Amino acid sequence: MEIVEVLGYVGALFIGLVLGLIGGGGSILTVPILVYALSFNPVIATAYSLFVVGSTSMVGAVKNMFHGRVAFKTAIIFAVPAFTAVYLTRAFIIPAVPQDLFNVGNFKVTRDLAIMMFFAVIMLMTAITMIRNSKEQLIEKKAELNPNYFILGIQGLIIGLITGLVGAGGGFLIIPALVLLAKLPMKNAVATSLFIIAINSLIGFLGDVQNYDIDWPFLLKFTAISIVGIFIGIWLNKFVEGSKLKKAFGWFVLIMGVYIIYKELTI
């Protein structure tokens, strides 16, 4: 096993560790680890990311179900248009996009480049959300609004499209929607978000199964290591307050997003 491959599996453990410690954000690292450490092309990386994100989120979702924190009615209203969009994106839209998109002078814009650039933008948005620590602001604002399930469904459709394109769960977008539009308490919003992410990601991955050959031994091994990381993170959370680590991780994600933009534009 090469050192780069070892680092990739260490990255899988880190993904789960972050998810266990701070309750989200770790999945945003899955695609960069698969692309830059393990040399998968972005389309396959986003496909594998959906499976990893879906499986790890399901672990957290099941735990929250036993505690009665998942709002199933809200989850269904949000998830149905979301997973429909994810599946259609992975099954039909991504395969239909040509590899070479257009040229800007001598610079060729490819499908892989566009995916990674869009992914980097999502990373930057995630980082800013973590750094600003906007959860407290959302709690203050939620009382000002009445539940709006129609807009919640529309937002589910949009987030489903984004999830399908970049292979990330989109929790930083889902949680604000659940708090502001469905008026869920923060703990319930986080729990319901995990449930939605799990359904979106795993159904979206089914769209990839019909289009690509899946390296199941690798994918299951990578996912299992990530899930082990979650349990380690949950255990460490007893000694380290995850919220205190959130801003630091946000800065890390911000740097990673900038690095991806730099790397993709200078290849």
pLDDT for the residue numbered 143: 47
Residue 51 · residue 202 · CB < 8 Å: yes
Structural domains of the chain, count: 1
Q: What is the mean pLDDT of the chain?
A: 85
Evaluate if residue 148 carries a pLDDT over 90: no
Q: How far apart are CA 118 and CA 2, in angstroms?
A: 30
Burial level of 94, CB count in 10 A (0-12/13-18/19+)?
A: buried
pLDDT at 139 over 80: no
Predicted local confidence at residue 140, as pLDDT: 45
For residue range 75-100, list pLDDT tens digits in order. Answer: 999 999 999 999 999 999 999 999 99
So what's the pLDDT on residue 150?
A: 87
Rounded CA gap, 237 and 242, in Å?
A: 6
Can you tell me the mean pLDDT for 252-263?
Answer: 92
42 in Cβ contact with 115 (< 8 Å): yes
pLDDT tens for 11-33 read 999 988 887 777 666 678 899 99
The per-residue pLDDT for 127 is 87
> What's the confidence (pLDDT) of residue 228?
92
Residue type, 114: A
Q: Which residue has the higher pLDDT, 56 or 240?
A: 56
The residue segments making up the domain with residue 29 are: 3-266
Residue 42 has pLDDT above 50, yes or no: yes
Phi–psi pair at 214, nearest 5 degrees: -95, 130
**CA–CA gap between residue 142 and residue 178 (Å, rounded):** 10
Q: How many CB atoms lie within 10 A of CB 72?
A: 11
pLDDT of 138 > 80? The answer is no
Q: Which of 166, 200, 173 is nearest to 75 (CA)?
A: 200
